[in-house]
Amino acid sequence: METRQPDRRLKLLRSHHELFGLASVMFLNYLAHEVYVTVFVLYALYRYSWDERDVGNCLALVGVTTSIVSALLVARSVKHFGERNTLFLGLILGGLGFALFGASTAGWMFLASVPVNALWGLATPPLQTFMTQRVSRAEQGELQGAIASLRGIAMIVGRGFLPRLSPISWRPAQFARSALVSVSPIPDGRTRVGLGSCAESVGWK
C-alpha cells in the first residue's frame, strides 16, 4: 500500500487543470535549482579558480540572501504587488540571476549576481498558496506529499542528466538553461505553460 502513495499523490496534481499547471511550474523551478548541486562547485573551481573557502563563502552568501528574501521581502512584495505579480516577479528575477551567472567572467561578478538570483525566492510562497487554494482541507497533506514527490523527481532528473549535457568548459550554458527553465512559466499572452496555463491558473489572463 505504501508503495502506491507517490502515484496517488501525483494523481492529485492531475485532478484539476489549474493545479496541474501550477505543479508544472513548481517542477520546472525545482529542476532549474538542480544546477547548484550538479554544476556550481566544479564550475566555480574551473572558471574562477576558487578554493573550498571561496565556494563556502559563496554558498553562505546564497543562504543569507535567500533568508533575507524569505523573511523580509516576500510579505512586503505580496502586500504591495499582490500574489500573482509577486509570483511572476520572482520567476523573472530568478531567470535573470541565472543568466547573470552564466555571463559572469570573474568571481566577483558571480557573487554580485547572487542577490539577484535570491529574489527567485519571491515566487515559491505565492505559488504554494495558489496550489493550496485549489484542493480541499482534507487534501492539504496529500498536496504537500505531491510537492515533495515533484522535488524528488526533479532531483533524479537534474542530477542524472544535467552534468552530461555539456563539458565543464561549457557549463555557462547550464546556467542559461536554468534561466530558460525558471522563466518558462511566464505567459506571453499567446502560449500555455507546460501542460497547463500558469496565467490562467492564477487568474492572470
Long-range contacts, 128-131 (Cβ 8 Å, 24+): 129/83, 130/22, 130/83, 130/87, 130/201, 130/202, 131/19, 131/22, 131/23, 131/26
Q: What is the Cα–Cα distance from 88 to 78, expressed in whole angstroms? A: 11
Which pLDDT tens digits describe the chain residue by residue (205 residues)? 444 555 666 778 887 778 888 888 888 888 888 877 777 888 888 889 999 999 999 999 999 999 999 999 999 999 999 999 999 999 889 889 988 988 898 999 999 999 999 999 999 999 999 999 988 888 888 898 889 988 898 888 877 666 555 544 444 555 555 555 555 554 443 334 433 344 454 454 4
Q: Which of 17, 7, 11, 8 is nearest to 134 (CA)?
A: 17
What count of Cα atoms within 13 Å lies in the side-chain half-sphere of residue 105?
0
Q: What is the Cα–Cα distance from 33 to 41, expressed in whole angstroms? A: 14
Angle at 136 between CA 131 and CA 137, to 5 degrees: 105
CB atoms within 10 A of CB 194: 16
Q: Which of 201, 143, 122, 104 is nearest to 12 (CA)?
A: 143
Give residue 5's pLDDT. Answer: 57
Residues 6+ apart with CB under 8 A from 139: 12
Domains with residue ranges and CATH for the chain: 13-201 (1.20.1250.20)
Give residue 190's pLDDT. Answer: 36
Check the CA dihedral 182-184-185-189 and report its sign: positive
The grid coordinates listed for 196 are: 497547463
Give residue 36's pLDDT. Answer: 78
